[in-house]
Amino acid sequence: MLEYSLLYPENTETRTAQKLDGMWRFAIDWNGEGKEESWQNGIPGRDTIPVPASFQDFYTDKNIREFTGDVWYEKDIFIPLSMKGERVYLRFGAATHRAVVYLNGEKAGEHEGGFLPFLVDITKMVRYGNKNKVVVSVNNELNETNIPCGMTITLSNGRKMSKPYFDFYNYSGLQRSVYLLSVSQIAIEDIDISYSVSDDKALIRYAIRTSGKAETLISLFDEEGEEAASAEGNSGTIELRTPHLWQVHNAYLYNFRVELRSGDNTLDVYELPIGIREVRIEGTKILLNNAPIYFKGFGKHEDSDIVGRGFNIGVMKRDFELMKWIGANSFRTSHYPYDEEIYREADREGFLIIDEVPAVGLFESLSNFLDAGTGKGAKSFFSKTTTPTLLNAHLKALEEMIVRDKNHPSVIAWSLLNEPESTDDNSLPYFEKLFSRARDLDPQQRPRTFAMEVSSSPERCKCYHLSDFIALNRYYGWYILGGYEIGEAEKKFREEMERWKALSLNKPFIFSEYGADTLSSEHKLPSVMWTQEYQIEVFEMLHRVFDSYDFVRGEQAWAFADFQTTEGLMRVNGNKKGIFTRQRQPKDIAFVLKKRWENLPLDYKGNL
């Protein structure tokens, strides 16, 4: 079914993709009575709100910002007669964390999971040639049966409150674009592409899934618009001589055109930009097109002023320009899949992405950032009665992510969890199912990993052997032995690395998080914690350790920019570990990283 496919919305000869972004009507369901009061037929009040955006930061009322429960959106859309006879869908880029969609007062569909697209089939519900009322109820409550994990409590005044097990703000709403789609009855539903690359040729393996029988024609066009190859059939292999390969910061994109025909009639057309490249691991090396690469970059967040986690195309452009300026080549989509436009820009710019499913908070703690960072272990998270339900939600989100992102050349690895509790025997069967499913879903067989906090040590972690490369989040010099004890932190860090080395895993290691909180206003000599001088000292110490081990093949600093978190004594209006401020201006550490990364070759340690 088309509902399974998450192909990017495109206008073609046979498809219509109409963006419904703009001002929607908006209402907060303070007392949880919207359904009983028939809000699905039309919401009360006159308030409006931008889509896409998080709803929290537009208002001056703290009760709105902290609201936990249902919020309702409404928009009238005109659906032309020309769509009659086709399949018609609403496509939501994301609704955080669950949504129920109504059309003209009738339930059309629902979805749980706040960071990936979903389709709602409205073909048989539409009033063609008329306006149709779309109403969406979005719920942002946290629990332990969906990812990301947390809890929802009720205060003495009856208001609900989110208690996340993760260290970023629980922004929510319709945070990505909404589309009205129409496609033909017989249509292209999914495309799988994988590659094998050698010195002078590339093999492009493809498989096309369609909703009915048709003649399938494949055309491959280069960037000049010239046809480079062609094929027929729903599956096959294209051999391309002297191909232009997709490389880091030298991205070459072909256009993979699929056409369905019946005699002289064109039934459907879809065009997919592809980058020909191959990713694999060989011992401690991560290879792109058979050449070693070293990761230089960041953990990031979709987070900016005013719109929160809502997609902002201007902020996206600024972020890529800053990453190019500083000499980065990669980022991890911590801690959830990002808006599709970000992947498309990474495809064009030649950035490497570790794509992460929204599995954060699988470690029961309301101060997860502190407990995980200091190595305070948690036991039995995966031994609860809710674990099977959580696993099903996790597997569903994993499937939706890989189906959406599998054809992006920028995506070169999957991260299946961030800082989970992994020291209990019951974590192993949970992790095994995830790793197995990721391998089954991905036609390109990308490397798989999970980001490990410090209690997931070589002695205690039950699951690290499942990872194709080891990803470590480490905060020596900050959560562990900060300030004047930084020398002790370096010693303790080296002791841990020696224990990993003794295992002789013959796998690459990357540091998927490292850093220190810093206020951009603070300077002091000699340094103290929270000053810019101390942040630099922490990074220099950590880099000395990274450079001491041949099997360390990457560093992704935490974080690209300061970001909003829940209120707390350890957070000064958000997490301040950014290399850049939330307004995307550099701290002093940015110039230190720029000097280092511009002098580290892409194949750093590659010949060792």
Which residues belong to the active site?
419, 513
Q: CA 199 to CA 180: how far, in whole Å?
A: 44
Q: Coil, strand, or helix at residue 429?
A: helix
Q: CA 97 to CA 115: how far, in whole Å?
A: 8
Q: Where are the beta strands (DSSP E) in 524-605?
A: 552-558
What are 575's two structure tokens? Answer: 């997490």
What are 356's two structure tokens? Answer: 């992460």
b/e for 137-168, b at 16 or more Cβ within 10 A? Answer: bbbbbbebbbbbbbbbeeeeeeeeebebbbbb
Residue appearing with tokens 């950014």: 578
Find residue 415's DSSP bridge partners: 356, 449
Find residue 53's DSSP bridge partners: none
Residue 22 CB contacts under 8 Å (≥ 6 apart), including other chains: 50, 51, 75
Residue 516 CB contacts under 8 Å (≥ 6 apart), including other chains: 475, 477, 478, 482, 529, 534, 535, 538, 539, 577
What is the strand order of the sheet 70-79 is part of? 48-51, 22-28, 70-79, 130-139, 98-103, 106-112
Q: At what angle do helices 427-441 and 387-405 cross, to 10 degrees?
A: 20
Residue appearing with tokens 């919207």: 34
CA distances from 410 to 59, 198, 332, 346 (A): 37, 19, 11, 6
Element (H, E) at 371: helix 368-374
CB–CB of 231/218 below 8 Å? yes
CB–CB of 114/191 below 8 Å? no
